[in-house]
Structure 1
Amino acid sequence: MSIISLIIKREFIAKVRNKSFVVMTFLSPLLFVGIAGFVAYLSSMKAETKRIAIHDESGLFVNEFVAQNNKDSEYKYLDLSAIDIQALKDSITKEDFEALLYIPKTTSNKDLENKIQLISNNSPSIIFIEKAQGIIADKLTKNNLEMAHLDTLAIKTAKAEVVLNLSKASGEESIKGLNEIKIAIGGAFGYLIMMFIIIYGNMVMRSVIEEKTNRIVEIIISSVKPFQLMMGKIIGTSLAGLLQFLIWTVIGLSLMFAASAFFGVNIGPTSRVSPEMMNVAQQEFAGAAQMYIKELWNLPIASILISFVVYFIGGYFLYSSFYAAIGAAVDNQTDSQQFLLPIIMPLMLSVYIGFFTVINDPHGTIAVVFSMVPLTSPIVMLMRIPFGVPWWQIAISVSLLFATFFGVVWFAAKIYRVGILMYGKKPSWKELYKWLKY
């Protein structure tokens, strides 16, 4: 058996036998499912109805708000126009009501637009403010049209509601939200890669720092080359991480299905709707689901899965080399913080470009360029592939990624070779550059 294979085996066994690794492997899915069930329970609970007092001296709007009681269960509007305004303000101070909407009497609707007050002890939500403003604005608009002797019904009937029917050049019908589904698929794979890099890249760094601090590495280095030790740590840790992710997936899915089947727990938000509305929604959903399944089936599924594996391996090995070099250069995790930011920034930039650029223009210059740059390509390219990417772009991107990986491994090995035996001194960027010349 080769030396690297022995190191991989040693690192893998050391990780999976660690008590914290075993505990978190089996505890994390339980925590995740427990939190999901708790969120589902909270979402199913009926929110407390908030009482809103209405003091409408104009008499124009109170009925509009009271009519909302049958449509909105979160807020209950009470017509208290007959009660003195000061008494109502005192009630707000005593928290008898959530808020008081005071509508004064004015000579014209124009004056009324800027004189309505919403009085409350706490800042009301933006949603409630927008809703209240909308009710008042609709009533004022309708009132203004009537005062101008315009037919409000005719105006309402004349309003056009346009619905675009999407179709492809081939004549097939298309669906809305397909781009969002594509970016969600690519984003999920990209996010998985980013989390794996951050979690297990840090694990590689901590392993190197621990062995360096305990002076175990001095004995190991006498028998193996620094490059072999570094690669063995990276591969061994990645295999342990893959095993942990696999166990998390199996346990998590099993617990979700068990909770749904035996306890009737719906993992996710629930809503209360009538059986008739539910039947209509189910029929509409069934028709839309067939179209979505058809569109998803037409996606380059094989390319997505193969690319995920390739970029997963390339991206993890690339960044883990950086983490291993940092672990060799410092004596403790506190000293490593100054070197971690340049590693995290490309990953954050990748997510930003993916969700704010690729979704709008997957074949634009910015998306194409950053899907070629090795530090960002594992995430950006995975978000582009569901939209259809020419094979030559993928080939160039993968070639650059693995070429950069081998180059970074070579540089990281030089830093690793020197730093692994350096103690008691915080290295600077200038010193790291000098180590590359040794």
Structure 2
Amino acid sequence: MGVLSLIIKREFISKVRNKSFIIMTFVSPLLFVAFAVLVGYLSSLRSDMKHIGIHDESGLFFSEFKSNDLFNYTDVSLIDEKILKDSVSLKAYEGILFIPKFDNLKEYENGIQYISDESPSLQFVSDLEKTMGNKLTRINLTNSGIDTLKIDEAKADISVNLVKASGEETVKGLNEIKIAIGALFGYLIMMFIIIYGNMVMRSVIEEKTNRIIEIIISSVKPIYLMMGKIIGTTLAGILQFSIWAIVGGILMLIANTVFGLNTSSPSMDMVSEMNPDLISTIQLYLKEIAMLPIGSLIFFFLIYFIGGYFLYSSLYAAIGAAVDNETDTQQFLFPVIAPLMLAVYIGFFTVMNEPHGTVATIFSMIPFTSPIVMLMRIPFGVPIEQIIISVILLFATFIGIVWFAAKIYRVGILMHGKKPTWKELLKWIKY
């Protein structure tokens, strides 16, 4: 263990003293806060109002269009069509909606044109079609002798109240909140694995290229060297994340004071102006969030973080030992990253809909996907026996992967000048 601790110390010190590490440790929070300030500023800006001219020869539709903060509708029915088209080219109008007059209402379905230099958004076109379609529908109903006022009065707006079996009222969208919390923790694990796993791999390649490793390996067992690199890099990464959190928090506080970013809670005046139903809904959301197993989620986040990171870092170290440069790593990296991508896909498209379904349960047990999928399931309430089985499988697989990776590391670390294949890696494992 004394040798392992020396390797960990050496790896940690070499990482934190590296110029790029120091620069990124303190520059990254600045970039993050600058990005947050920019997004906050851009979100506060209103989009330029777009002026839309409506040339309605029928006189049926213009009254249906209501101007708002984004679109200003102007009746240009008395202006010549040629002049209106020129006004679009001159940017006087964003576009012109030409509605001719037809004797048969059916002809309106394919007889209306919207002229503009720039292609309008699908949402805008859909709104135009919906507005005019509703108008024609009402006219058709009226012509058929159907009272549209009675139809409007007969329309019902249903709002289902959600209640637990215990009788307590709950809120809509709670599943989305749960998946967002679980996804945040899962994303942190994935980001840490990719960033610092690559750092482990580059460190191995660098020492292998410089031939330093040949001297070190003569007095240290390969598995100690590999684990020392992984643990040392992990400690450096945790230090970097901690600094990011502290510096980022301070910078956000400064940005809030200097630039007036509204990151604080609503004032009492704002709360007093809220609708009582809205206040009650907010209180229900806060109550439901407070009831989530946040403590368990944080605890198991640490467990899955350790197991998942060590598992993947062992693979990254083995890849670094097998190649001579980063270019040659591409053929080996995709099989490593693919399970992480699959875990994210399963999390968002399966766990959200069926957190206790067969697919979600199976992938929360598979060690290569469990660090992400299980963390997305925990907010929904997972039986403790499933979590225990998942953790046991994760750490058992980690031990097995370390054993295999150490064999590749032992042979590959002394190999130079040849691009390895998957077949050769399998041979190295048998040595």
**Do they fold alike, i.e. is TM over 0.5?**
yes
Shift, 1:281, TM fit? 3.6
Match of 1:18 in 2: 18
Match of 1:64 in 2: 64
Alignment of 1:334-353 (within 5 A): 334-353=327-346
Match of 2:397 in 1: 404
Shift, 1:143, TM fit? 1.7
Match of 1:373 in 2: 366
For the residue of structure 1 that corresponds to 2:306, the secondary structure is: helix
Percent identity over the alignment?
64
CA distance in 2, matches of 1:208, 1:116: 67
Tell me if structure 2 keeps the 8 A contact 1:36–1:267: no
Matched, 1:235 2:228: no
CA distance in 1, matches of 2:275, 2:9: 52
298, 314, 324: which one aligns with 1:321: 314
For the residue of structure 1 that corresponds to 2:202, the secondary structure is: helix
245, 250, 266: which one aligns with 1:249: 245
Shift, 1:283, TM fit? 4.8
Write out per-residue CA displacement over residues 72-99 of structure 1, whole angstroms, 9 at most, x where no aligned residue. 1111111111112122122223333211
> Which amino acid counterpart does residue 49 of structure 1 have in structure 2?
M
Query: Where does structure 1 lack aligned partners over 5 or more consecutive residues?
Result: 269-274
CA distance in 2, matches of 1:59, 1:276: 46
CA distance in 2, matches of 1:88, 1:175: 51
> Which amino acid counterpart does residue 19 of structure 1 have in structure 2?
K
Match of 2:77 in 1: 81
CA distance in 1, matches of 2:238, 2:105: 67
Match of 1:356 in 2: 349
Matched, 1:118 2:101: no
Shift, 1:277, TM fit? 8.9
With normalisation by structure 2, the TM-score equals: 0.96
Alignment of 1:14-413 (within 5 A): 14-65=14-65, 68-69=66-67, 72-266=68-262, 280-281=273-274, 283-413=276-406
CA distance in 2, matches of 1:217, 1:323: 17
Match of 2:414 in 1: 421
> Which amino acid counterpart does residue 23 of structure 2 have in structure 1?
V
CA distance in 2, matches of 1:61, 1:131: 13
CA distance in 2, matches of 1:297, 1:54: 52
For the residue of structure 1 that corresponds to 2:166, the secondary structure is: coil
Write out per-residue CA displacement over residues 380-402 of structure 1, whole angstroms, 9 at most, x where no aligned residue. 00000110101110011001100
CA distance in 1, matches of 2:234, 2:324: 23
Shift, 1:141, TM fit? 1.8
CA distance in 2, matches of 1:282, 1:12: 55
CA distance in 2, matches of 1:229, 1:412: 12
CA distance in 2, matches of 1:299, 1:195: 24
With normalisation by structure 1, the TM-score equals: 0.95
Shift, 1:261, TM fit? 3.0
403, 410, 426: which one aligns with 1:433: 426
CA distance in 1, matches of 2:200, 2:395: 20
CA distance in 2, matches of 1:12, 1:416: 20
> Which amino acid counterpart does residue 286 of structure 2 have in structure 1?
I
Matched, 1:5 2:5: yes
CA distance in 2, matches of 1:250, 1:193: 19
Write out per-residue CA displacement over residues 121-148 of structure 1, whole angstroms, 9 at most, x where no aligned residue. 1110122112211211221122222222
Change (3 A) 1:345 1:84: same
For the residue of structure 1 that corresponds to 2:364, the secondary structure is: helix
Report the more deviating stretch, 292-301 or 244-253.
Answer: 292-301
Report the more deviating stretch, 194-203 or 77-86.
Answer: 77-86
Shift, 1:254, TM fit? 1.8
Change (3 A) 1:143 1:206: same
Change (3 A) 1:223 1:282: farther
For the residue of structure 2 that corresponds to 1:436, the secondary structure is: helix
> Which amino acid counterpart does residue 402 of structure 1 have in structure 2?
F
Tell me if structure 2 keeps the 8 A contact 1:104–1:116: yes
Q: RMSD across aligned C-alpha pairs, in angstroms?
A: 1.8
How many corresponding residue pairs? 429
Change (3 A) 1:239 1:176: same
Write out per-residue CA displacement over residues 289-347 of structure 1, whole angstroms, 9 at most, x where no aligned residue. 32122212222223211110000000000000000000000000000011000011100
